[in-house]
């Protein structure tokens, strides 16, 4: 945004700070000046500088010369020349010669609409200050009436528009567009409107796309003799949605989308009208018409006051470099300068009426931040928090342990969007009621995410589409369910992999990623003092490939599901190789106690290994084998693990072969053959009881 310091100084006649210092002071107060450019002298007079400014989107009140002048007046405690004008009186005070109203069906879109008729004007080129300022700002000049509207926008920040009155049929109505209605805009494009668009119309046609751009058929031309000046307030969300829908971004929509000043509409209208009378001649037809929707006025200009405590402000802001600190008088000076009205309630508390142009102020902490900003963050002392005031979240240690374990397993942490489309919400969380957004940015972000899986699939696809050979990703975050009235959120964890898993004696290369995910789930559970997970094949569904997915339960509670992503869905999403996913209930893990690390003294006596080669029916799981052997009570049994697993469906259908290795060791003696033989016999008997057959 470009700002002229000469224009700023017209509002601040007592400002004696040079432009370089002014730029630095504004930047330190959050109104960033990114460049200062000296302008050429005119007849020996310095026109000042051109500021190239970056004003944050929440500060729509500062996106104009008067708004920045208000900041400067507050900063230096200077008087500010007002920009308002007295109500203009028609030579024949009466209602205007055409009806002006807001349609009841459009009151949710438009909270205020002002109109003023000016007759017998002369349209020509702009001269004087407007022409000079526009030249220095690089602003296109069109005609005196149109330039005045743009001049007031740059000056006070509120959009206005001028219509050719003779092209208006009957009267003016602010209404919702009809479905399929056509409107030709000032840029020459023709738009097809919907009922979600707002238009300013006459009794036969739409005249402009409200809050965004005027219409071609009612624009000011050299032949215009009579003008209707319009200034309004439109609902930010409605203008934002309409602007996105038609892919149009204008100076007007930029301001309306961010929350314009409800009380600025009549002021802007009078300023434009007064300037037109001065530059274009003419006379008023009737007085200013001001249509107001009371509900919007209550939510913006007439918001209830906020109570602000002096001691709370001082405590929250802390120590300043100035020994005097931030006093009550200083708080009053700053907030009053910014437009607040302060009423003392007692010796420590103010009732603060918020200015209509600062919709970003909603809480006491917002006012405290404004005090700190104007005072200057560079004027606060560098201090550390008092000991004991910062406490770690109760789950922080567990979440850190989970992340560290996944890092150790070769996974990389990722971060995805908090939103999901309707289709993804139904596919990845069919049993969950997704929370819709009132104003989604796109169809792909229609809901708060009910699952982390859509984001994980998108990230895996992103890597696949860029020829990444393999990936191991995880994300921990919040998921949401419920409705807009009541949103429930809970922590969740997802893992995603593709490629890079090698074939072993336990499984084929095709099955390797599945067992890798299973191992990751078991490894995570190994962090906790909890029973071993029970794994059960998943019944066919739309999310995972049939026969290639399983669920994990702990003590009867579902910990998560994992498996190969549905090949049909993967093909639809153009994933070029199998993708494996795991969804884990992080909330359940956070309820479990972490396993305490323990150490034992190493035995000085030799360990002895014994191998057992068995055939088992496919229904016998490794957990069954572990339970059976550990149930024998062999105190010297140190470890038990499968060394090999293989199948031969033709020679041994319905069974698998495994080599199990048991390691025995005593802490106080050397084991003898008679003990080992007895223990081996007990293990063989226990495995045969499971249905196993000892291989020769």
Phi, psi (deg, nearest 5) at residue 289: -95, 130
Neighbours of 506 (CB within 10 A): 14
pLDDT for the residue numbered 190? 95
CATH class of 307-379: alpha beta
For 617, the token pair is: 């029916």
Q: What is the mean pLDDT of residues 2-27?
A: 93
Strand partners, 184: 190
- Return the CATH number of the domain spanning residue range 608-694: 3.30.70.380
CB proximity list for 675: less than 8 A, separation 6 or greater = 636
pLDDT for the residue numbered 405? 96
Q: Is the pLDDT of residue 441 over 90?
A: no
pLDDT for the residue numbered 114? 96
Q: pLDDT by residue (tens digit) across 29-85?
A: 999 999 999 887 665 566 889 999 999 988 999 999 999 999 999 999 999 998 755
Burial of 88 per CB tally in 10 Å (0-12, 13-18, 19+): middle
Q: pLDDT by residue (tens digit) across 263-311?
A: 999 999 999 999 999 999 999 999 999 999 999 999 999 999 999 999 9
Backbone conformation region of residue 180, classed left if phi is above 0, alpha if psi is from -120 to 50, else beta:
left
Phi, psi (deg, nearest 5) at residue 21: -65, -40
| Runs of H (alpha helix) within 213-348 | 236-246, 251-256, 264-280, 294-299, 310-317, 328-337
Q: pLDDT by residue (tens digit) across 123-143?
A: 999 999 999 999 999 999 999
Q: Range with the lowest mean pLDDT among 76-85, 316-325, 502-511, 578-587?
A: 502-511
**Common-topology check for domains 99-299 and 396-591:** no
How far apart (Å, rounded) are the C-alpha atoms in residues 536 and 498? 22
Q: What is the mean pLDDT of residues 631-652?
A: 88
Q: Is the pLDDT of residue 693 over 60?
A: yes
Share of the chain above pLDDT 90, in %: 80
Q: Is the pLDDT of residue 220 over 80?
A: yes
Q: Is the pLDDT of residue 385 over 70?
A: no
pLDDT for the residue numbered 621? 86
Angle (nearest 5°) at CA 410 between 405 and 415: 80
Burial of 390 per CB tally in 10 Å (0-12, 13-18, 19+): exposed
Q: Which helix (H) or strand (E) holds 164?
A: strand 160-164
CB proximity list for 122: less than 8 A, separation 6 or greater = 280, 281, 282
pLDDT for the residue numbered 273? 95
Q: What is the mean pLDDT of the chain?
A: 91
How far apart (Å, rounded) are the C-alpha atoms in residues 420 and 224? 51
Q: Is the pLDDT of residue 95 over 70?
A: no
Question: Which CATH topology does 99-299 take?
Answer: Phenylalanyl-tRNA Synthetase; Chain B, domain 3 (3.50.40)
- The verdict on pTM exceeding 0.95 is no
How far apart (Å, rounded) are the C-alpha atoms in residues 162 and 183? 17
The ranges assigned to domains in the chain are: 2-76, 99-299, 307-379, 396-591, 608-694
Superfamily of domain 396-591: Bira Bifunctional Protein; Domain 2 (3.30.930.10)
pLDDT for the residue numbered 89? 55
The model's confidence at residue 504, banded by pLDDT at 50, 70 and 90, is low
pLDDT for the residue numbered 531? 87
Share of the chain above pLDDT 70, in %: 96
**For residues 191 and 158, is the Cβ–Cβ distance under 8 A?**
no
Q: Is the pLDDT of residue 390 over 60?
A: yes
How far apart (Å, rounded) are the C-alpha atoms in residues 516 and 510? 11
Q: Is the pLDDT of residue 386 over 80?
A: no
CB proximity list for 347: less than 8 A, separation 6 or greater = none
**For residues 521 and 558, is the Cβ–Cβ distance under 8 A?**
no
pLDDT for the residue numbered 280? 94
Q: pLDDT by residue (tens digit) across 98-111?
A: 899 999 999 999 99
Question: Which CATH topology does 2-76 take?
Answer: Phenylalanyl-tRNA Synthetase; Chain B, domain 1 (3.30.56)
CB proximity list for 153: less than 8 A, separation 6 or greater = 64, 159, 160, 251, 252, 255
User: Nearest-CA neighbor of 126 among 157, 163, 152?
Assistant: 152
């Amino acid at each position: 945004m470009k700002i002229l310091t000469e224009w700023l100084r017209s509002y601040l006649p007592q400002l004696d700070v040079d432009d370089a210092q002014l730029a630095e002071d504004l930047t330190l107060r959050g109104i960033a000046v990114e460049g200062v450019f000296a302008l050429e002298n005119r007849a020996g007079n310095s026109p000042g500088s051109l500021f190239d400014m970056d004003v944050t989107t929440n500060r729509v009140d500062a996106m104009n010369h008067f708004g920045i002048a208000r900041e400067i007046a507050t900063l230096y405690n200077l008087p500010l020349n007002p920009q308002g004008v007295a109500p203009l009186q028609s030579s024949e005070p009466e209602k205007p010669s055409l009806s002006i109203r807001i349609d009841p069906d459009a009151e949710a879109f438009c909270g205020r609409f002002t109109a003023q008729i000016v007759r017998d004007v002369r349209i020509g080129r702009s001269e004087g200050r407007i022409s000079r300022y526009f030249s220095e700002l690089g602003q296109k000049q069109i005609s005196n009436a149109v330039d005045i509207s743009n001049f007031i926008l740059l000056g006070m920040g509120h959009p206005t528009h001028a219509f050719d009155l003779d092209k208006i049929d009957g009267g003016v109505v602010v209404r919702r567009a009809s479905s399929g209605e056509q409107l030709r805009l000032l840029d020459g494009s023709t738009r097809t409107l919907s009922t979600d668009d707002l238009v300013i119309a006459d009794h036969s046609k739409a005249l402009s796309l409200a809050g965004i751009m005027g219409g071609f058929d009612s624009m000011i031309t050299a032949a215009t003799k009579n003008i209707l000046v319009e200034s309004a307030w439109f609902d930010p969300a409605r203008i934002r949605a309409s602007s996105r829908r038609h892919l149009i971004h204008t100076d007007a929509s930029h301001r309306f989308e961010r929350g314009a000043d409800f009380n600025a509409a009549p002021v802007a209208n009078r300023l434009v009208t007064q300037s037109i009378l001065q530059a274009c001649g003419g006379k008023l037809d009737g007085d200013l018409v001001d249509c107001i929707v009371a509900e919007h006025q209550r939510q913006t200009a007439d918001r209830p006051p906020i109570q602000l405590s002096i001691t709370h402000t001082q405590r929250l802001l802390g120590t300043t470099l100035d020994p005097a600190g931030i006093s009550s008088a200083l708080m009053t000076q700053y907030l009053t300068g910014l437009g607040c009205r302060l009423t003392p309630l007692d010796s420590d508390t103010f009732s603060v009426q918020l200015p209509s142009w600062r919709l970003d102020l909603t809480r006491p902490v917002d006012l405290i931040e404004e005090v700190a900003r104007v005072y200057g963050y560079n004027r606060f002392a560098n201090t550390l928090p008092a000991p004991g005031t910062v406490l770690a979240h109760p789950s922080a240690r567990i979440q850190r342990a989970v992340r560290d374990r996944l890092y150790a397993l070769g996974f990389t942490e990722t971060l995805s969007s908090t939103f999901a489309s309707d289709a993804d919400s139904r596919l990845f969380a069919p049993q969950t009621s997704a929370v819709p957004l009132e104003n989604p940015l796109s169809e792909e972000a229609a809901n708060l995410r009910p699952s982390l899986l859509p984001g994980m699939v998108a990230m895996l696809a992103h890597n696949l589409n860029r020829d990444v050979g393999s990936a191991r990703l995880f994300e921990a975050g919040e998921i949401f369910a419920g409705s807009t009235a009541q949103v429930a959120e809970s922590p969740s964890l997802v893992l995603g992999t593709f490629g890079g898993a090698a074939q072993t004696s336990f499984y084929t290369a095709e099955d390797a990623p599945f067992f890798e995910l299973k191992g990751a789930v078991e490894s995570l559970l190994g962090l906790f003092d909890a029973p071993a997970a029970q794994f059960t094949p998943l019944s066919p569904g739309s999310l995972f490939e049939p026969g290639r997915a399983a669920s994990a339960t702990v003590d009867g509670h579902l910990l998560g599901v994992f498996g190969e992503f549905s090949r049909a869905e993967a093909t639809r999403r153009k994933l070029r190789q199998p993708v494996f996913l795991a969804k884990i209930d992080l909330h359940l893990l956070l309820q479990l106690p972490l396993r305490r690390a323990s150490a034992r003294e190493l035995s000085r006596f030799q360990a002895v290994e014994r191998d057992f080669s068995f055939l088992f029916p496919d229904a016998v799981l490794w957990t069954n084998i572990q339970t059976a052997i550990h149930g024998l009570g062999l105190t010297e049994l140190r470890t038990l693990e499968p060394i090999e697993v293989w199948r031969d469906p033709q020679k041994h259908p319905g069974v698998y072969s495994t080599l199990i290795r048991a390691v025995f060791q005593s802490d106080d003696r050397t084991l003898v053959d008679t003990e080992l033989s007895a223990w081996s016999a007990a293990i063989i008997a226990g495995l045969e009881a499971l249905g196993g057959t000892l291989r020769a």
